[in-house]
């Protein structure tokens, strides 16, 4: 009888122990800390590989209406328009061209339309050495001032090269200057950064560079 009771006690104790264990697992008593909050999926715009802007050549190739770029609708050929400047030597754009923000270079010397556009035929561009180029072939014109950058671009090193690094295995493509830079204000505009790393658990934040930015988070 003594032996039987001991067995019973041991079995009962083990059952209680295992039940407690099962309950502990079920209610995650010491288990993983649940993540702080669900992580939203990244916006597909952040994985979009299309270039920063649509160049005119690309716009026409994709079937866009090129009549906006037909200067002869308003301007007459061979009759150059006089460009007006204010007292501080800033260009005064007519209201028809109010959408252009001309800030090409930090100085004010590049404020003349005819530095790039052909004054006799506004549908064309002209280089400083008098060569005429179509609007869609502007890259050599940019290169006439930005020599080292143009050299890099020709080597495939300035701007993105897409497709195949191994030219034997497939095609590659290059972008022209206006696919990334607005010719009238070539500096990259600021853009929203994609979300940064997410901590697995809430962690103490690293010291910030400035408080305002940290508060923004």
Partner 1 sequence: MTSNSPCSSGGCAGGGNGNGGMNRRSFLRTSGVLASGIAALAASLAPLRDLTDYTSAEQFMQKHYKELSKDDMEKVLDRITREVEKQYSIRPHVKDYKPMDGVEFVYCLNLTRCIGCRKCVHACVAENNQSRDPEIQYIRVLKMPHGSFDMEKGDHNYASPTVPEKGFFYMPVQCQQCKNPPCVKVCPVKATWQEADGITVIDYDWCIGCRYCEAACPYFARRFNWTKPSIPKDRINPEMSYLGNRPRKQGVMEKCHFCIQRTRAGKYPACLEVCPAGARKFGNILDPNSEVSYIMRNKKVFVQLKEELGTSPRFFYYFDV
- Closer to partner 1 by CB, 54 or 91: give it: 54
Q: How far apart are CA 131 and CA 141, in angstroms?
A: 9
- Closer to partner 1 by CB, 78 or 215: give it: 215
The contacts of residue 170 (CB under 8 Å, 6+ apart) are 163, 164
| C-beta neighbour count of 211 within 10 angstroms | 8
CB 145 → partner 1: shortest distance, Å? Answer: 16
- Closer to partner 1 by CB, 104 or 158: give it: 158
Q: How far apart are CA 184 and CA 102, in angstroms?
A: 5
H-run or E-run covering 151: helix 147-154
Contact residues: partner 1, CB under 8 A:
1-4, 7-8, 11-12, 14-19, 21-22, 25-26, 32, 35, 38-39, 41-42, 46-49, 51-52, 152, 155-166, 168-170, 175, 180, 188, 190-198, 200, 205-206, 208-209, 213, 216-217
User: Measuring CA to CA, which residue among 103, 178, 94 is closest to residue 134?
Assistant: 178
CB 5 → partner 1: shortest distance, Å? Answer: 10
- Closer to partner 1 by CB, 26 or 73: give it: 26
- Closer to partner 1 by CB, 83 or 180: give it: 180
- Closer to partner 1 by CB, 129 or 217: give it: 217
CB 122 → partner 1: shortest distance, Å? Answer: 30
CB 41 → partner 1: shortest distance, Å? Answer: 6
**Whether the Cβ atoms of residue 53 and residue 159 lie closer than 8 Å to each other:** no
CB 163 → partner 1: shortest distance, Å? Answer: 7
Q: How far apart are CA 199 and CA 39, in angstroms?
A: 10
**Whether the Cβ atoms of residue 127 and residue 113 lie closer than 8 Å to each other:** no
SS3 31: coil
The contacts of residue 180 (CB under 8 Å, 6+ apart) are 51, 52, 53, 159, 160, 188
CB 184 → partner 1: shortest distance, Å? Answer: 19
């Amino acid at each position: 009888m003594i032996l039987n009771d001991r067995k019973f006690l041991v079995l009962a104790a083990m059952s209680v122990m295992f039940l407690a264990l099962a309950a502990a697992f079920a209610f995650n008593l010491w288990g993983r800390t649940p993540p702080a909050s669900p992580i939203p999926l990244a916006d597909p715009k952040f994985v979009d590989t299309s270039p920063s802007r649509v160049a005119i050549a690309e716009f026409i190739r994709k079937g866009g209406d090129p009549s906006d770029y037909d200067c002869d609708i308003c301007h007459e050929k061979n009759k150059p328009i006089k460009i007006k400047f204010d007292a501080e030597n800033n260009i005064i754009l007519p209201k028809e061209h109010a959408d252009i923000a001309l800030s090409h270079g930090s100085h004010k010397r590049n404020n003349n339309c005819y530095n790039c556009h052909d004054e006799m035929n506004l549908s064309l561009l002209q280089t400083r050495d008098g060569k005429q180029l179509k609007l869609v072939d502007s890259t050599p014109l940019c290169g006439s001032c930005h020599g080292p950058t143009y050299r890099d671009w020709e080597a495939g090193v300035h701007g993105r090269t897409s497709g195949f690094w191994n030219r034997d295995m497939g095609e590659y493509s290059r972008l022209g200057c206006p696919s990334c830079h607005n010719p009238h204000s070539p500096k990259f505009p600021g853009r929203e950064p994609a979300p940064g790393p997410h901590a697995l658990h809430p962690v103490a934040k690293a010291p910030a560079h400035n408080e305002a930015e940290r508060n923004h988070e």
